Structure 1
Amino acid sequence: MANSAQAKKRARQNETRFQINKARRSRIRTFLRKVEEAIASGDKEAATAALRAAQPELMRGVTKGVYHKNTVSRKLSRLSARVKAIG
């Protein structure tokens, strides 16, 4: 357990950050799930719209330090390829 005032403050800050990042990750996963569901349904317009809505959320996750830039780029690339492949 933290003993010094500095360590106690750090523990509080870490908990706050954890809650904020957890909410961000959850929000991003929701957007990704919507894209996945649209792809599964085979609706190209819905999938394209969902992907377009998910892109800024994912990039915001990079800016805020929740995800690594290359991870998000890879996810977006794979999703866009799958959306493009819908007949």
Structure 2
Amino acid sequence: MNMKEFTIIKCTSCDAPLVELEGEKLTSCIQCGYVFSSAKQTDIDTKAITTSKKDPSLILTFIKWYTIIALIVGFLIGLFSL
């Protein structure tokens, strides 16, 4: 089976990845039962859905930068206290 023979789409309701075979059109989500509209989904829409990236949360960003700054400050204090 080639990559051209199927496409991976995501359900708009539950974000479940779904495989759509070439020549066949999914009418509903297998996982949640959401019924898709009859509008044809283009390859551009499919790529936008599958390549979308979720931004990291603000709390994780603060923890990451606090840890990096603490390590750098600790290294500098240890270096200059010799």
Higher normalized helix content (fraction of residues): 1
Is the pair's TM-score, using the shorter chain for normalization, greater than 0.5?
A: no
Higher normalized strand content (fraction of residues): 2
Rg (Cα) greater in structure: 2
Task: With a CA cutoff of 8 Å and minimum separation of 6, indicate the structure with the bigger relative contact order.
Answer: 1
